[in-house]
Copies of this chain bind each other. A is one copy, B any other.
């Protein structure tokens, strides 16, 4: 019942000797999402032992190279490994034309179909769902069109209490209805209330990815109450003018966003290459919000289950 985020890269603009550019793998109940795909992402996936064919969905926030230049290589390797399964790519307009030009000039055809879905609004929009999740995009405020993503787990069914099922010899065929909240009447006519047969499921978990953005009011509404927020923290607040002019955030501003949006945990990312020791960015954010972590390559954050 996992919901976890693994950082593959969190350097802004250019890789450093110790940090790769933006990419992260999100795993929710057997679904694998890649949020951004900077150069070297396929190398990072191998490095951290991730089977790249597992990836079902790729979301590209914007068309600055440090967020998508690893995509062509990743798709090419998936094809060499003879992937057949469709891949869904959510991306700004234009990425499909880049891919098609690369394929044409290399006289190549991928071994699997891609379904490109382009963003067409900066408002919060559900762009995909299945029976366990909903995926939303929303416009960020950056130098070029840029989107953030929110992944919401759907409410899980109630948890069946096995010992009660055995005690009352309830047949398998009745379990689905019980999970969905129905009472059960035994063959003897005894009414068993659902509350006695099941326990409440954990609260749906949620994650938001805001890679490149300056702060803006609507952002708080977009990401309100998420469990974990990954947020642009390119600069320390002593470079707030630089952050503003490049349409990025300081770590302190990320802390303010996390605080206002009532999130549980903040992961800082997209660090300027000038910061060798990232602890000063953590302290900068901590002045506004307590539960802060630094995005480190290869580290995984598990979203905890909580109950009402």
Contact = CB atoms under 8 A, between A and B. Distances in A.
13 contacts: A14-B42, A14-B76, A14-B77, A15-B46, A17-B47, A20-B43, A39-B40, A39-B69, A65-B73, A65-B106, A69-B69, A98-B101, A98-B105
Instruction: Identify which of A14, A63, A107 gathers the most chain B CB atoms within 10 Å of its CB.
Output: A14
A64 interface: yes
Contacts of A97: 101, 105
A23 to B, nearest CB: 13
Contacts of A80: 13-14
Contact of A101 (B20, B72, B101): B101
Interface in A9-47: 13-17, 20-21, 39-40, 42-43, 46-47
A200 interface: no
Nearest to A97: B101
A46 B39 CA distance: 14
How many of these chains are in the complex?
2
Given A143-B107, A144-B107, A76 B72 contact: no
Given A13-B76, A13-B77, 8 more contacts: A14-B76, A15-B42, A15-B43, A17-B47, A40-B40, A40-B43, A94-B105, A106-B144
Interface residues of A, number: 37
A144 B102 CA distance: 13
A94 B108 CA distance: 14
A47 B15 CA distance: 11
Contacts of A40: 39-40, 43
Contacts of A17: 46-47
Contacts of A181: none
Interface string A125-162: 00000000000000000011000000000000000000
